[in-house]
Structure 1
Amino acid sequence: MLGRRMTKQIGFTPPGLAPGPDGPVRQRHVFYLPGYDPEATKRYRALFARELARYARRFDLPRRTITRAETSPDGQSQTWTVEAGRAGWDTRTTYEVLLWDDIVRADFRRPLILSMALLAAGILHGIVTGKLFRLYGLNWKYGNVILYPFGMTLALAAAATGLGILAARFLGDLVPGPAAAVLGALAGIGAVLAATPLLDRIFLRQLITDWVFNWQHSNGWREDYAARLDAFAARVAARIAARDADEVMIVGHSSGALTAVEVAARVLAAGGGPGPGSPRLAVLTLGAGLPLVTINPRARRPRADIAALVHSDRLVWADYQAPQDWMNFPGFNPAHDHGPVPEAAVIANPVIRSARFRELIDPAVYPRIARRPFRMHFQFLMANDLPGDYDFFALTLGPQSLRDRVLAPDIVPLRADAEPVPAHRVI
C-alpha cells in the first residue's frame, strides 16, 4: 500500500524494459511540463538560456545556438530551438514548454483567507485519514514542507485573532460593543491581508495554493486542469504523427512530473506512441512529487495513468530522484509502492536513478545550496559544476536517446580551459 516505508536505495532497472540501444538522436522534440508555478511563461526560457550558457562555459559543447521563444496563439505553449554539438555529433532540439500557469494564477486570485481555509480542510482531512502520516513515512523533510504553510496559517490566524481582540478593546470605549467586535475582526483580517507581499516573498501563498490544488486534483475536482491535460496530449500526439523527430520527450519537474505522466498516459490511451517510422516516445521525470496526489485512494485516474506507463513497452520512462532535495520522494518506486503488482504484470517502467547532486555541485558552494530547499529543488534544471551521470542538458540536447543515456551515459567532459567555479557563487 502506498505510504509504507520504502527502501532508501535509489536505483531500479525494470525487468521488462524494452531492449536497446536506440541509436543516435539527431532531431528531438522536448515537451517540458512545469510544476505549479504562476510565472512559468516568464521563468523557464530565461532559466534555460542562462544555464545553457553556464553549461557551455564549463563543458565540452563548442557548438550551440538558441532561438527566441515564440508563444502559440492559444497561449498554451512557448517554443524555441536549440542546435548543439561537439566532435562527432550534432542535434537539433525543439524545446516546447506546455503552459498551465494561467490556471495557477486563477488559483492565486482566490482570496488568501479562502485558500487558508481550504488548506486547513485539506490538512485536517489528511490527518483524519492518515494520509499526512503516510507522506511523512515517505519523506519527513517533504512532510515538513507540507506542514510549513499550515503552521503559518495557524500562526497568522492567531495573530489576526489577537490583533482583532486588541482593536475591539480599544474601540470598545468609542463604539457599541457589537460594532467594536466587528471592526476588531476586520482589523485583524486586514492586517493579514496587508502582509500578503511579505508572505509571497517567503513562498507562503504558493505553497498554500499548491497544496490545495494537489488535494483538489486527488479528489477529481479540477476539471480545468483535466481539460488542459487533454489539450497537451493532443499536441504531443500531433508531433508524434508528424514523424519529424527521432525522439519525442515529455519532461516534468516537481509537481509537473505527474503532469508529464498524465499527458503521456493520455497519448497512449489515444493510440499514440511508437509505430513504424514514428519517433520514440520518452518520459523524463525530475524531483517528482507523485505521492502528494496519488496517496489519496480517490486519485484513481492519476494512479491508473501511472500504472499505464509502468506496464507499457511503447515508451521509456526515466525518473531521477535526489535525497538532497527536500521536495521529492527518494526511494519511491511507482512500479511497486502503489500496492501489490499482479503476478503476470510486466514491469517495463520507470528506470530510476539518483541525480547525486553532492557529486555534481562544487564542494565550496554545496553547503550553502543545501540550506536552501527551493534552490536545491531546481538543481535538476541547472548546469552541473562537475561531470556526472545526471546531466540535464545531455539528457535533453545530447545525441543519446533517453534509454541509452540512462542505461549507459556518455559523460560530457569539462572543457580543457574551464575555469574553477567561484567559491562565492550561489545561484
Structure 2
Amino acid sequence: MRVKRRHIIYVQGYDPRGLAQYYRMFRSELRKFAALYGLTCKVGRPAADDARAASWTIDTQGPDWQTRTRYDFLRWEDLIKADLEWPIWRTVTQALGIYIRLIFNGVLTRFRKAHWRFAAFISYPEFVLTMEALLSLGAATLFAAGLRFAGLPLLITLPAAAALFIALLGTLLKLLESRTYTLYLMSDTIFTWQYAHRQRPDWDQRIEQFARDLVATVRSSDADEIVVVGHSSGSFLGLEILMRALELDPEIGRRGPRLMLLTIGGNLPIVGFLPVSDGFRARLKRLAAEPSIHWVDCQSRKDVMNFYPFDPIAGHGIDVGAARRNPKIVNVRFRDIIAPENYNAFRRHFFRVHFQFVMANEQPNAYDFFMMVCGPLTLCDRFAHPATALAIATGDPATRDQAWSELEEPPIGVA
C-alpha cells in the first residue's frame, strides 16, 4: 500500500526545550532530508489549541508518490521545567537517595547486565557530583587548615569550612551545568522513579487525556496509518498512552487506520526493571501478544542512552510463547547513516548520537526518521523490506518500478 495520508503522534522524552525549539529542529532537518533524496517538502506552521499539544502538516512529493502527514507534538515541557526549578540541594539529595536504592534493590546490576553502557550513563551524574564534591572538599579543607593556623577554634573552623564546601559545590554544579548536564540528568532520574511509583499525578492526568485524544483520533481519522512515536523516555510514555487507549477502547486497533507504535532510542527498563512496576510489565505482556497493533523498536549500539541489544519482552522476564506478535526489533547502525568524514566527531557527543534517531540522515539508509514520517511506505513494509524501501527512495525509474511491483505482489498462495 502506498501511503497517501499519515498521522504521526510524537511523544518526546524528558526534554525541557519544548515546542519552539523542536519545531525549528524539525524544519531544519526536513530540509536536509529533502535535499538528500531530491524531494519536495512543504511544512506548515504549528497550531496549538492549548499547552498540551501542537500539530503541523508536511506535504512531501517524490518522483512517483505524494504523501500528506499530520504531525502531532505532545507536550510535557511545562511539567519538566517545573522539575528543573527545584533547589539544587533538593535535586541532589533526592537523586542520590534514588541511586543508592537502585544499587541495593539490584536494579543497577540488572541495568549493567542488560546494557553496561546505560548503567555507566545513569551513574555519570553521581560520578560528576563526586568529582565536584572532592574539589570542593579539598578547598574547604585548605580553608579550615588556614583558619586553624590563624589560631581560630574548631567551633568556628568546622562550620565555616562546611559552609564553604556547600557553597563551592553548589557553585560548581551550577556553573558547569551547561557542560555536564548533571542536574538535568538527576531530575530525569527523579522523574522516572516518581512516575514508576505513581507519585506524579500531573503526568498521569496528561497521559489519560492523550489516551482519550488517541481514541478520538482513530475513530475520526482518514489516514492510512497512525504511528505513535516514542523517543527516549517517550518510549515508555508512548507505550503507556497507547495501552491506556486500548483499555478505553479494546477495538482501537481493529477499526480504521493501521495503528503502530514506534519506539526509538528507548529505555523501557528504567521503569520496567523497578520492583514496583508490575502494572507496566503487565501492559508490556499484553502488547507483546496484541495482534491489532504493530510495534517496531529501533536500537543502536552507539547510543549509550538506549538499551542495546535488548528484547523489550524477554528482557523483562515476560514469555507469551507462540502468541507473541511484538515488537519487531531493528538494529540501527549510525555509521551507515552519518557521512564518514563526520562520524568520528559525531560519536563523541552522546546527546547528539541519541537525537540522531529523530534527525535527518547524511547518507541514504533503510532507517530514516523522515522517510518514516513523510515517505510512501507503511512502517511495516519499510522494516519488512528494507532493501526495497531504499530502492524506492534512491533508485532510477526502472529500479523503483521493480521495487513497487515486488511490494504490491500478493504473497504466494494468496489470490
TM value normalised by structure 2? 0.88
For the Cα contact (< 8 Å) 2:5–2:69, is it kept in 1?
A: yes
CA shift for structure 1 position 340: 4.4
Deviations 1:144-201 (A, max 9, x none): 1111101112223333334444445555669875455434333322222223032233
Residue in 2 aligned with 1:83? 59
Residue in 2 aligned with 1:60? 38
Match for 2:137 among 136, 149, 161?
Answer: 161
Task: Specify the SS of the correspondent of 2:383.
Answer: helix
Residue in 2 aligned with 1:144? 120
CA distance in 2, matches of 1:234, 1:197: 42
Task: Specify the SS of the correspondent of 1:240.
Answer: helix
Match for 1:283 among 253, 261, 264?
Answer: 261
Task: Specify the SS of the correspondent of 1:249.
Answer: strand
Q: Rate the CA distance shift 1:415–1:108 in 2: closer, same or farther, 3 A.
A: farther
CA distance in 1, matches of 2:8, 2:183: 30
Residue in 1 aligned with 2:237? 259
For the Cα contact (< 8 Å) 2:115–2:309, is it kept in 1?
A: no
Residue in 2 aligned with 1:4? none
CA distance in 2, matches of 1:415, 1:362: 20
Residue in 2 aligned with 1:114? 90
Residue in 2 aligned with 1:424? none
CA distance in 1, matches of 2:297, 2:170: 40
For the Cα contact (< 8 Å) 1:58–1:414, is it kept in 2?
A: no
Residue in 2 aligned with 1:19? none
Name the amino acid aligned to 1:131. V
Aligned residues: 390
For the Cα contact (< 8 Å) 1:386–1:414, is it kept in 2?
A: no
Deviations 1:37-59 (A, max 9, x none): 11122332111111110111111
Match for 2:253 among 257, 261, 274?
Answer: 274
1:104 aligns with 2:83: no
For the Cα contact (< 8 Å) 1:57–1:415, is it kept in 2?
A: no
1:217 aligns with 2:187: no
Match for 2:367 among 390, 408, 427?
Answer: 390
CA distance in 1, matches of 2:62, 2:359: 20
CA shift for structure 1 position 393: 1.0
CA shift for structure 1 position 29: 1.3
CA distance in 1, matches of 2:197, 2:377: 39
CA shift for structure 1 position 302: 2.1
Name the amino acid aligned to 1:33. V
CA distance in 2, matches of 1:32, 1:314: 20
Q: How is 1:154-193 mapped onto 2 (pairs within 5 angstroms)? A: 154-168=130-144, 170=146, 177-193=154-170
CA shift for structure 1 position 76: 0.9
Deviations 1:251-294 (A, max 9, x none): 01111111111111111111162344x22211111011111121
The gaps in structure 2 that reach 5 residues or longer are 397-415
Task: Specify the SS of the correspondent of 1:389.
Answer: coil
Identity %: 32
For the Cα contact (< 8 Å) 1:335–1:347, is it kept in 2?
A: no
Higher relative contact order (CA 8 A, sep 6+): 1
CA shift for structure 1 position 81: 0.8
Task: Specify the SS of the correspondent of 2:303.
Answer: coil
CA shift for structure 1 position 243: 2.4
Moved more, 282-291 or 200-209: 200-209
Deviations 1:338-387 (A, max 9, x none): 114144x6111111111122112111211221122211111111111222
Name the amino acid aligned to 2:357. F
Residue in 1 aligned with 2:341? 364
CA distance in 2, matches of 1:252, 1:175: 59
Name the amino acid aligned to 1:39. R
CA distance in 1, matches of 2:153, 2:342: 60
CA distance in 2, matches of 1:415, 1:164: 66
For the Cα contact (< 8 Å) 2:7–2:69, is it kept in 1?
A: yes
Q: How is 1:28-43 mapped onto 2 (pairs within 5 angstroms)? A: 28-43=6-21
CA distance in 2, matches of 1:175, 1:414: 77
Moved more, 282-291 or 357-366: 357-366
CA distance in 2, matches of 1:315, 1:371: 37
Name the amino acid aligned to 2:71. Y
CA shift for structure 1 position 218: 2.7
For the Cα contact (< 8 Å) 1:321–1:353, is it kept in 2?
A: yes
For the Cα contact (< 8 Å) 2:285–2:318, is it kept in 1?
A: no
Q: How is 1:322-333 mapped onto 2 (pairs within 5 angstroms)? A: 322-333=300-311
* Structure that is richer in helix per residue: 2
TM value normalised by structure 1? 0.86
CA shift for structure 1 position 220: 2.8
Residue in 2 aligned with 1:10? none
For the Cα contact (< 8 Å) 2:136–2:165, is it kept in 1?
A: yes
